Structures are given as C-alpha cells and as structure tokens.
C-alpha cells in the first residue's frame, strides 16, 4: 500500500505514480457521481473502482452523459473483501442499513472508509435503531467512527480510519448553531430549525413525489417532527454544548435542483449581547476556508454556493422577541455530501484540506 505520509511532492515525475487509490461504492446515485466529478480533478487521487448495484457492467459516461470523454469507468458489483485491497480509501454512498453490515475491523485495517450514509453518525445504537427502524450490523464500531464534520472534529478525523460523513441538513444545521451552543448563548430548549432542501436531496430513486410534474412549482413540508436528521443534530449540538438538546426540525422540499437552506431560531439567554453572538461565530469560523460569515444585513442564498464546498452563514438578532435567527446555506451535494467527504479524505491523508475543493461557485446555473 501507498505510504502517503512519506510523499515528497517535489519529486513527482509521472502523473498518477504517487496518487492514492480511491474506490466508490454506490457510485451511480447523485452523491456518488458528484464524488467522481470532484475526484476527477483532485491532483492526488486516482479512482480505482466504482460499484453500482443497479448499473453493474455499465460505463459511467453512458449512465451520466456529462461524463462522456471524462470518465468511462465500468461500474462493478460490490465485493467488499477484494475491493478493499484495491483502494487506500473507500467512499460509501449507500442507503442506510447496508454499510453497518459490511464494514468490519479487518476491512478497516486494509483501507480507510468514509461512509456518506447514516450508519455511524449516531453514537447510540438504540437511537439509531429507533429512528431508522433497522438493526445496526456493527454496533461495536459506532464509537470508532468519527463524525466527519471537519470544522469541529478535525483532529479526531485525522486519527481515524472510519469517518461518518454528516448528512446535508445536519451539516448546515450544526454549522449554523454550534457557536451559539458552544458559547452557551442561547436557551437550548428553544431551538427550532426550519430547513429547506432542493430535490437532489431526495436522491435518484424513482417515486411519485419527485416526478417532475408533482414537485415542480410547489412547496411542501414532509416528515414533520419526524425526520431522521433530528437526533443527529441533537447529538452533535449536545456534545458541542455540553448539555442535552432536544429541538424541533422541519424539512421542506423546494422546487430546485440543489441547495440546503436552514432558518434556525433560538431565544438568547438573559444579558447576552449581539456583539457576543457575532464574536462567537468569528471565534470559530473566521479562519475556516469553507465557512463564509456574511456581513450584517446580508443574507445567504442557495445560488451563491452552488457547485462549491462553502457554507454561508448570517446572523440576525430579532430584538423585539429576543431571538437570534441564524441563516445557513450550502450545496447539499458538495459541502452536504461529496465535498465534505473529500475534505475528510484530505484530512485523513494529510493533503491540504481544501485540495480539489477550491472551485468558485457557479452562477447563474
């Protein structure tokens, strides 16, 4: 296997020689193909294989026309043991409930795993099994899996071989609220997250709700007070804030392709000033490349982050009611999935954290 720690970049002679090898399991969903798009341009990476249950044997550029002349990988079937031999890191872009039955200690000794699904995000087996209504296949690995929210767990990630890449709603929600709970500025029982998502968040599987003429030109809420990202947000904010947090989370479906938008509400504690609030965000995010704190009075819009790994955040203090309103937005397929997974990979392999993720957002698109 490749010893990336000893890589001497200045001695690279032939393209690809010292690149790490990556595999993608579940490559033909939107998250999988977005991973490919990003990794194709990552200078330290070579894609070894891509697997697909539904498209095994087919070429990526026939499945996705934008890959023509860019990526003609043939999708393979999953063969976990042998695949792990062929990659330094494997990205798993699978529905929940599969990864936990496949990942083993022995696999983790051969290769690193970045799971973009839900199986290792929640640390409590029962919480997982209650919310996902399925049995967890490897509960002993729950603690081993590091929650891959790079801005908050950078050091833990670097030490790990199993990363639980956060969900799209979750990333946006936690990044938006974490400084407030960390600095103890809000009443934790007052948090409400009203979240909005573009339709790619629902994936590529066919169902009537995402048929063009059923969701175009319409808005709806769904899984009200019952969405599975709720306990994930609660667990992480509780951990960051050293307090038990129970909150209301309401997701909505917006007729657009990409984008997560979070409108988070919380009542500030007595005596807390707007200045303290703004300072908390500066403390944690001022040096973060992928978080852009917006100036007062400027609000995020999903269009400004499309195709990029940015999370844009703004703060408003509603003085009439004593609430802080935090607006956060990100591209659900990038910072909310594939981009953050590559950011995690960069941390795991000691590459510059932003490598392969520097693209300027693209607008209007």
Based on the shown chain and the rule CB under 8 A, indicate whether residue 37 belongs to the binding site for a second copy: yes
Distances (CA, A) of 39 to 13, 23, 26, 44, 311: 20, 10, 15, 9, 20
Indicate the helix (H) or strand (E) that contains 124.
none
Among 49, 261, 284, 349, binds a second copy (CB under 8 A): 261
Site for a second copy in 217-246 (CB under 8 A): 217-222, 224-225, 246
Query: Which residues are bridge partners to 164 per DSSP?
Result: 115, 147
Chain center to CA of 83? 24
Neighbours of 235 (CB within 10 A): 20
Residue 145 CA to residue 163 CA, distance in Å, equals 5
Query: Which residues are bridge partners to 113 per DSSP?
Result: 90, 162
What is the size of the binding site for a second copy (CB under 8 A)?
A: 86
User: Which residue from 344, 346, 357 is spatially nearest to 290, judged by alpha carbons?
Assistant: 357
Residue 74 has what DSSP assignment?
Answer: B
Q: Which stretch binds a second copy (CB under 8 A): 105-113, 121-129, 175-183, 191-199?
A: 191-199
Based on the shown chain and the rule CB under 8 A, indicate whether residue 55 belongs to the binding site for a second copy: no
Based on the shown chain and the rule CB under 8 A, indicate whether residue 282 belongs to the binding site for a second copy: no
Residue 258 CA to residue 331 CA, distance in Å, equals 6
Nearer CB in complex with a second copy: 90/291? 291
User: Which residue from 139, 143, 137, 134 is spatially nearest to 162, judged by alpha carbons?
Assistant: 143
Establish whether 168 is a catalytic residue.
Answer: yes
Residue 345 CA to residue 162 CA, distance in Å, equals 11
- Residue 71 Cβ, how far from a second copy at the closest point, in Å? 8
Among 6, 11, 14, 65, binds a second copy (CB under 8 A): 65
- Residue 340 Cβ, how far from a second copy at the closest point, in Å? 17
Cβ 56 vs Cβ 62: under 8 Å: no
Based on the shown chain and the rule CB under 8 A, indicate whether residue 44 belongs to the binding site for a second copy: no
- Residue 262 Cβ, how far from a second copy at the closest point, in Å? 10
From the candidates 75, 168, 172, 311, give the one annotated as an active-site residue: 168
Residue 54 CA to residue 102 CA, distance in Å, equals 18
Based on the shown chain and the rule CB under 8 A, indicate whether residue 304 belongs to the binding site for a second copy: yes
Site for a second copy in 71-110 (CB under 8 A): 71
Based on the shown chain and the rule CB under 8 A, indicate whether residue 131 belongs to the binding site for a second copy: no
Among 74, 108, 192, 355, binds a second copy (CB under 8 A): 192
- Residue 250 Cβ, how far from a second copy at the closest point, in Å? 6
Q: Which stretch binds a second copy (CB under 8 A): 89-97, 193-201, 273-281, 337-345?
A: 193-201
Q: Which stretch binds a second copy (CB under 8 A): 63-71, 102-110, 156-164, 170-178?
A: 63-71
Indicate the helix (H) or strand (E) that contains 163.
strand 162-164
Site for a second copy in 202-221 (CB under 8 A): 204, 206-208, 210-221
Nearer CB in complex with a second copy: 98/215? 215
Among 33, 78, 119, 151, binds a second copy (CB under 8 A): 33
Among 323, 338, 343, 349, binds a second copy (CB under 8 A): 323
Based on the shown chain and the rule CB under 8 A, indicate whether residue 15 belongs to the binding site for a second copy: no
Cβ 262 vs Cβ 174: under 8 Å: no
Residue 47 has what DSSP assignment?
Answer: E
Instruction: Please name the residues in contact with 298: beta carbons below 8 A apart, sequence gap of 6 or more.
Output: 314
Based on the shown chain and the rule CB under 8 A, indicate whether residue 47 belongs to the binding site for a second copy: no
List active site positions: 168
């Amino acid at each position: 296997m490749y010893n990336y720690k000893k890589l001497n970049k200045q001695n690279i002679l032939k393209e690809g020689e010292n690149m790490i090898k990556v595999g993608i399991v579940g490559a033909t969903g939107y998250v999988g193909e977005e991973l490919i798009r990003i990794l194709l341009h990552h200078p330290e990476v070579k894609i070894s294989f891509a697997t697909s249950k539904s498209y095994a044997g087919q070429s990526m550029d026939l499945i996705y026309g934008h890959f023509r002349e860019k990526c003609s990988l043939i999708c393979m079937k999953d063969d976990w043991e042998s695949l792990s031999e062929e990659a330094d890191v494997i990205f798993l872009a699978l529905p929940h409930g599969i990864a936990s039955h496949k990942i083993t200690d022995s696999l983790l000794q051969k290769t690193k795993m970045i799971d973009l699904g839900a199986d290792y995000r929640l640390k409590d087996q029962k919480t997982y099994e209650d919310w996902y209504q399925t049995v967890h296949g490897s509960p002993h690995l729950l603690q081993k899996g590091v929650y891959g929210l790079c801005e908050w767990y950078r050091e833990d990630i670097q030490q790990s071989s199993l990363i639980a890449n956060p969900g799209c709603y979750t990333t946006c929600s936690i990044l938006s609220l974490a400084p407030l709970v960390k600095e103890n500025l809000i009443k934790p029982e007052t948090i409400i997250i009203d979240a909005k998502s573009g339709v790619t968040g629902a994936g590529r599987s066919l169902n009537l709700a995402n048929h063009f003429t059923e969701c175009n030109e319409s808005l709806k809420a769904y899984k009200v007070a019952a969405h599975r990202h709720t306990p994930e947000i609660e667990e992480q904010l509780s951990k960051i804030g050293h307090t038990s947090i129970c909150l209301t989370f309401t997701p909505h479906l917006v007729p657009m392709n990409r984008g997560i938008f979070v409108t988070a509400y919380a009542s500030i504690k007595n005596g807390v000033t707007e200045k303290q609030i703004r300072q908390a965000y500066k403390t944690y995010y001022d040096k973060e490349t992928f978080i852009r704190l917006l100036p007062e009075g400027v609000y995020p819009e999903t269009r400004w982050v499309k195709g990029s790994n940015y999370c844009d955040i703004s703060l408003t203090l509603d003085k009439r009611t004593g609430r802080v309103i935090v607006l956060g937005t990100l591209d659900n397929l990038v910072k909310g999935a594939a981009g953050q997974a590559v950011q995690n990979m960069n941390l795991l392999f000691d590459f510059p954290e932003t490598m392969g993720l520097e693209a300027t957002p693209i607008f209007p698109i």
